[in-house]
Structures are given as C-alpha cells and as structure tokens.
Structure 1
Amino acid sequence: MNKYQLPSDSKLRSKEFVFGVATSSYQIEGAVREGGRVPSIWDTFCKEPGKVDNGDNGDIACDHYHLWKQDIDMIHALGVDAYRFSIAWPRIIPEDGVVNKQGLEFYEKIIDECHALGMKVYVTLYHWDLPQYLEDKGGWLNRETAYKFADYAQVVSNYFGDKIDVYTTLNEPFVAAFLGYRWGEHAPGIFGEREGFSASHHLMLGHGLAMPILRENAPNSSHGIVVNASPAYPYSEKDQGAADYSEAENYHWFLDPVLRGKYPELVVERQSMNMPMILENDLNIINAPVDYIGINYYTRSVNRYNENGDIESVPQVDAEQTYIGWEIYPQGLTDLLVRLSERYDNLPPIYISENGAAGDDKCVSGEIHDTQRVTYYQDHLQAVDEAIKAGVPVVGYFAWSLMDNFEWAFGYTQRFGMVHVDYKTQKRTLKQSAIAYKNMLLERAEENK
C-alpha cells in the first residue's frame, strides 16, 4: 500500500481537516545538560536500576536538540499541516523565579521554521518531564505544583502569545498521575492509591489555573487538554459494571471535571477512601471552557470482575497485537468517539492527538517495510471517518510518532515511529507507513488546489 485510501466522500479529504505528526521533548531532544536545562524527574528515574528497559535514558535520544532543522525539513516533506510537540519545563524555568531565555529561544527557532514552511504548531506545555527541583518539594503530590505550572504557562504564553497556534496544557494526565504516583511504573516511581488520585487532582487544577492565563496572553490561539482514552467492553454480560468503571477511571475522571465541573460518581464512590482534598473552588477552576479536546487512542480494554469483586483487564490473546502487546482494535476508536459525543452535550471539537503502533522494525537494504503499521493507520483513519459520519466533531489527526524515540519505561526497545532512527548514527529513514502518509497528503493537496 503506497498511500492510505480515504473514501471519496470523507471529510478527511478536505483542506480544513488537520493532519500532523507528534513528538515530545524528553523522548527526542537529548542534550539534557545543554542550553540551561536542569534535570527532570525522568533524568532521575532513568538512573534507578530496573526502572527502564536496558537501563536506557533520554540523555541523547534522537539528538533533536542539535538536529531540529533537518527534522523540521523532514516533517515538512511529509506534507503535513501541523507539528505537535512539547516544551520541556526544565529548559524554561531552571529554578523558582528564574526564566531561561536560551530555552525559549530554542523553541522559538522551531516555531518560526514551522511557520516559514507553512505548518501550524501545536504545543504541549507538560508531557511528563517535571523539573526535579519541584519533585523534591513533593511534585504533583504538592498542591503548590499546580500554581507553579500556572507560572510556567504564564512565562511561555507571555513570550510566544499567538505565535503558538494551539496550546495544550497537559498530555495524558492519567499517565502522569497514575503511572507516576499510583503504580510506580513511570517517574517519579511512587506507589499509592491516595497518592495517585491526589496527583491527578493537582494536575487538573494546574490545567484549570493555566487556562485563563493562556487565553489572556494568546487570545487568537486555541487552548485545550489531551487525554488518553481506551473504550472498555465487558467480558460477559455480568461484567458491564466493570467496563463502565474502567471508562470512568480511565478518562471520565479527567474529562468530567473539565466538561461537567465534577468528578464521576462511579470513581468517587469506589475510591472514597482515596479521594484527594478538593477545595471549594477547585472544580470551578478546572471547569474553565476549552476550545478542543485531544484524544490519544491506541487500543481498547476488556474488563471483568474477578472472584474478589475487583475489576481486571482480560488480555485478548487471540487478537492481533502490536509489538508492544496491545490489541489492534480500530472499531474501538469509532466507539470511543461516539460514546464521547453521547456523554457530553457540550463536546468541543476533537483532535486525535496521538494514534499509532509499536513495531519490530528493521532497516533492510535501506528500507523499512512496517506492514502492520501501514494497515493500522489505514484502519484507524477509516474509524475516524466513520465517527465523523456519525456526527462526532473530529477536526484533526496526528500520527504517533514522527520517529522512533525514547519510549519511557520501555526505553528504546519499542519503535512507534513513522521514521526509523538508527540511534548510533542518528540517521533517519522513512518507513513505508511514512511514505504512505506522505503520498496520501500529496494526493489530498492536489485535490484541494
């Protein structure tokens, strides 16, 4: 397949629909001790034995800090409308009350280059790389961190203003809070039910505090939040309650306070002993209007009650899986989007801000035939099209990821990129999935001339 086939009547063919690629700072930049950057919680976490596969770290990663110009040229050559990336908080505010202009200027070069090439920029303020000096004061378990995040949002948006086309406050607060402070799988590696929910509330409070600041400093930009979401399905008829709870904790917990001004009752009741301290005006702050919601989708979950009444996920061992072991289930993306439109009367425009698959990709004679990923993207683009035809206001799609990179606790063992990276030489090679994406976008551009 040399390009993704879009139905002739698909809104994905219109020039108004945004196609892009996505990355994040710690996963690609490297240069962790250059340009005035200070350590993040991920620099610390990677040094702890057994936390990251092979003891990998982001010290060099894709060396994007030095190779950013060629990477932006590569992105432009794909024909995308937009580039979604994150700013590293440790590059901007190296200590309380100090602003590192060198860090701001690094991202300004990227933003200016994207605009010069006709691409919009979608910038995430927080993609999990909290400055270590804030973690030393409690991190997201400390309510004060929410206010520090607002200060950081002030610095970035005051400097860039409307030059950033689309601002995202947080990427996947579920992962930052629950994998980082509840289950200990991600930085900073803390275990605790109450801790996880406390961190989640402070993250959401930080989002709410930042929103009016972003609107004031960048009134012509769009502002929102990105959540990861896995639609849940019952293992049997008697397990519908397990699936309902899975969705409530997985993503309603983060979307309900933004769109409804309250946390979902299913979670409040089941986790009553672990609820965070919620002050009187907190939910009003979090309920600030948003211009869009970003949805990161990879797979679904199938849930049941076990013999103890606990909810567990049931692996679908007979289904096709990616190299990371995640079930490939495109219908889940359509179902998820339709469920969101049914749940939220005030659902704003939706971006599919991440979607992709890990593969066991090998470069053979200068080519990477990532056949499974090609099919994955084709089927998920079709799923987005079906959701739009069902009335869901999806306005854009970003492939994850632009290139192979540091994949958090998996280190460099998992390759999600459309572009292959040889980590020894830093050579970039377009995989078949990228070539198909490029050809699709070239065809669309011809149609819209």
Structure 2
Amino acid sequence: MSFPDGFLWGAATAAHQVEGNNVNSDFWVLENTAGTIFAEPSGDACDHYRLYRQDVALLAELGLTSYRFSVEWARVEPEPGRYSRAALAHYRDVLDACHEHGLTPMVTLHHFTSPRWLMRLGGWSAPGTPERFAAYCRTVMAELGPLIPYVCTINEANIGPVVRQIAGDLLELAPVGLGDAPAGGLGAWLSAAAHALDTTPDRVNPFLFAYDQAANEVIMQAHTAARAEIREVSPDTRVGLTLALQDYHPEPGGQERARQMWCETFTDFLPALDGDDFLGVQSYSRMRVGADGLLPAPDGAEVTQMGYEFFPGSLENVIRGAAAAGLPMIVTENGIATTDDTRRTEYVRQALEGVRRCLADGIDVGGYYYWSALDNFEWMLGYAPTFGIIAVDRATQTRTVKDSARYLGALARKNGETL
C-alpha cells in the first residue's frame, strides 16, 4: 500500500532551538543563570530567525512537502497584553516563504518556552495561565490564521508526567515543580533565576517542569481555551496538540506499572482532545518497564546520543495505541540523535514501514515530520546531540545536507513508493 494522496512529508523545528537570542523567554534566563543545569546557553542557535528563507527553500529543494515550526510567544507578547507587530510580521513572512515554496505549514503556538513575565505570574501552575495563553493564540491566529492550515496549540502537553517518569527523584524536584527544589545546588540556581525574573522561586514554573496534576489541569485548560479562540477567528484551520507518547514494554512483573504509565501520559489527557481535529503523535524509542519503574536498555543494545535504545518500531506501536483517541493522527516528531547518518536513514526507513503498516490496517495517519530539520539546541544537553537531517556549523551558520535528508526528500517526491 502506498501513502495516501496529500500525506504530509516534513521536518520540524522549534523556535527557541533554532532561532537564536530568544531573550524574552523563561529558558533564556534559566540557561544563563549561574549553576544552571543546562550544558550551555542557546545563544545564536541556528540563526533561523534570520536565515529562515534559506532553510525553507532548502527543505523544499529536498522534496519535502511540509514544514512544522513554532511561533515564539515570548517574541509575540514580550510584556503582558503588548503584542509585537514586528514579530507577527516576521512569522507572516515565514508562512509566506512556506507557501511560495510549496510547503504546507504546520504551526505550533507553544513549544516549551514562555515569556519570562509569565513566571512572575506563577507560570504553568497559575490558574490565570489558560486565559493568557488563549489570548495570545487568538492574536496570532486572527493575524495569521488564513495562512495556517494546521495548528498545534501546545507541543507535548504531557511532557511533565513523562519527565517525572524518566527523572523521578534524580533531579530532586518536588511534585509542584522547580520552584520547590531544596536549598543548595538546584535550589541555589532557581533562587538566582527567580531573582533575574523578578519573582520568587515558588513562582518559577516553566512548562517543561510542570509535573503535578494541578499543572496538568492548567495545561489542558489552556489547550481547550486556545482551541475555542482559534475556532472563532480561524475556523478553516485544523486544530490539535501533540503528545510525547512512550512505547512501554513491560518486562516480567511490569505489566501493571506499564499500564499506569500509559494512563498517566495518554489516557489522562483524552478529555482535552475531545473536539480536536487531529492528534500529533511524537515518539523516539521504547521504554522497558519493571515492577518498580523504568529499566535500562538491554545489554548490548544500540543506543543513541540521547541514551535511547535504537528502536524505530516504537512509532508504529504508539500509533496503534493512540488510535484509541478516535482522531486522525499526524506524526509530528520522530527521529534519532546520532553521528552515524546511515543509522538515521535506517531509523527513518523502519519507522515509516511501521506507519505504512498502520495505514494498511485502516488507521488514519496524515503525515510524518522528522525531528529535526536542523542540528539544534537540545535543551539541557545543549548542542551535543545531533538530530538534524541538515548539519549546522554554528561558527559560520553554514548548512550541510545529510544523506538522510536526501533519502527523506526522495520518499516525499514519490509519496513513499521507494520506501
């Protein structure tokens, strides 16, 4: 079976990871505060804020048909209720560039980073955050909606529970978020960051570390409020969110724990998806689960730069599990961090074989976006992990196309027939 007509063949980026100098964001402060857990600051990143036209043209030249990128809230609304016309004009031009080059844009309105002022108001644990986020989404979509056929309100709305499962107590984080870390070490860093943000540590609740159930409720309310605003001002735009879905593999004694972990990261978020047009599925590897939680990769297994097991079959497995949501799905992220580009190509090939099997079984999957278009800033790990199908020399900002990019582009040109 071939891929359906109109299948979206794309690559993805996130604003903070590629644009550079996102100085009004909470993460910029966290990266640049003494004692940070970030390996290095984002700095100029890939200078995509300046070089976006070059990058969009390159993706189209490769043969891709879509580009997923994010609009940065901290740029659009640098102070509460004050919107930047210049930032909106910039993102309009990014969208224009996509359309000029025949790329269908998919826009994410929140990809982990938030305005630094939001931390002064309590961040992603504050009850007023859904309304503030929805107002920002309304402004963007009222201005740009006709150019945006697909919009994801929030990237990985379930990332808090996922990080909690992976990190547990290793980061010494209390359930309500970063702001309650103990004094010394992490606490000293957060105190300094809170001072830089002109607030107190208990109010520093960035999205990526919003762990507790109250924060989950805030995030889900933010999505549903944003969806309502988008529906009103841009009714032709298809709306969804993305979830980081883990392929849990129970080992002996781990069946119940694996079931609980799936509920925490998928089932618990289903109420917020009611009324969405699609679900963005994001998966990278499997997780082995024992009675007490996660287990390491098997002895001798191939692992990536992220420490994940090389396991492209995870994508098919989570698509089949997520079909329970009853929504059309789009693979909004899937990829591998490696210095061996031949393994990246093989990973993509096997992952897409899994997508094709899902399609053959009647599961509605409308597209595949590789993560990431560019080697970029990978949050706390800095620039060491290389996910991109395009390499970036950050000293010169020179782009170098990898063979994996040519492989994905060739698939796109023939709609997967050469897989």
For the superposition of Structure 1 and Structure 2, which TM-score range results when normalised by the shorter chain?
0.7 to 0.9
Structure 2 Cα separation of the partners of residues 194 and 159 of structure 1: 30
What are the ranges of 5 or more consecutive residues in structure 2 without an aligned counterpart? 182-208
- Would you say 1:202 and 2:218 are equivalent positions? yes
- CA change 1:194–1:127 in 2 (3 A) is closer
Q: 1:91 to 1:355 in 2, by over 3 A?
A: same
Q: Partner of 1:19 in structure 2?
A: 9
The residue that corresponds to 2:236 in the other structure is 220
Match in the other structure for 1:239: 254
Contact 1:141 1:195 in 2 (8 A): no
- Does structure 1 residue 257 correspond to structure 2 residue 271? yes
Structure 1 position 19, deviation (Å)? 0.7
Change (3 A) 1:292 1:75: same
The answer for the alignment partner of 1:48 in structure 2 is 33
Matches of 2:13 and 2:408 in 1, distance apart? 16
Give 3-state SS (helix, strand or coil) of 1:156's partner. Answer: helix
Give the match for residue 406 of structure 1.
377
| 1:151 partnered with 2:135 | yes
Q: Distance in 2 between matches of 1:389 and 1:446?
A: 14
- Give, in angstroms, the shift of residue 330 of structure 1: 2.5
Provide the secondary structure at the position in 2 that maps to 1:383.
helix
Q: Which amino acid aligns with 1:230?
A: Q
Q: TM-score, normalised by structure 2?
A: 0.86
Dislocated runs of 4+, deviation >6 Å: 180-183
Shift of 1:59: 2.2
Residue type of the alignment partner of 1:168: C
* Cα distance change, pair 131–68 in 1 and its aligned pair in 2 (3 A): same
Q: What residue is the counterpart of 2:322 in the other structure?
A: 340
Counterpart position of 1:271: none
- Residue 44 of structure 2 corresponds to 60
Shift of 1:350: 0.3
Q: Report whether the alignment pairs 1:160 with 2:139.
A: no
Contact 1:15 1:445 in 2 (8 A): no
Could you tell me how far 1:182 is from its partner in structure 2? 8.5
* Pair 410,106 (structure 1): closer, same or farther in 2 beyond 3 Å: same
Query: The residue matched to 1:202 in structure 2 has which SS?
Result: helix
Deviations 1:353-404 (A, max 9, x none): 000000136xxxxxxxx11101100100101111112221111100110010
Find the partner of 2:118 among 134, 146, 149: 134
* Count of equivalent residues: 385
Are 2:403 and 1:424 equivalent residues in the alignment?
no
Structure 1 residue aligned with 2:360? 389
Aligned partners of 1:182 and 1:190 also within 8 Å: no
| Aligned: 1:122 with 2:106 | yes
Please say if residues 160 and 211 of structure 2, whose CA atoms lie closer than 8 Å, have aligned partners that are also in contact.
Answer: no
Aligned position for 1:319: 301
Say whether the 8 Å CA contact 2:146–2:237 is kept in structure 1.
yes
Amino acid at match of 1:438: G
Quick one: which amino acid aligns to residue 317 of structure 2? D
The CA distance in 1 between the partners of 2:18 and 2:211, in whole Å, is 29
Q: TM-score, normalised by structure 1?
A: 0.81
Structure 1: give runs of 5+ residues left out of the alignment. Answer: 1-8, 34-38, 260-286, 362-369
Q: Aligned with 2:158: secondary structure?
A: helix
Per-residue CA deviation, residues 94-152 of structure 1 (Å, 9 max, x unaligned), is: 11121110010010011011111221110000001111111122101101111100110
Aligned alpha-carbon RMSD (Å): 2.4
* Structure 2 counterpart of 1:377, from 326, 345, 348: 348
How far 1:216 sits from its partner (Å)? 1.2
Q: Is the 8 A contact 1:178 1:197 kept in 2?
A: no
Report Cα offsets for 1:180-229 as digits up to 9, x if no partner. Answer: 9987699x844579953222211111001011110111111110111110
Separation in 1 of the partners of 2:172 and 2:259?
24
The question of whether the paired residues in 1 share the 8 Å contact of 2:157 and 2:241 is answered with: no
CA gap of 1:176–1:163, structure 2 versus 1, over 3 A, is: farther
Query: Residue 277 of structure 1 aligns with which residue?
Result: none
CA offsets 1:261-312 (integer angstroms, 9 cap, x no match): xxxxxxxxxxxxxxxxxxxxxxxxxx4x000000011011111123xxxx33
Structure-1 separation of matches of 2:110 and 2:371: 17
Q: 1:324 and 1:445, CA in 2 relative to 1: closer, same or farther beyond 3 A?
A: closer
Cα separation, partners in 2 of 1:314 and 1:253, compared to 1, 3 Å: farther
Q: In the alignment, which of 83, 90, 104 is matched to residue 74 of structure 2?
A: 90
The equivalent residue for 2:190 is none
CA contact (8 A) 2:64 2:413 kept: no
Distance 1:161 1:257 in 2: 25
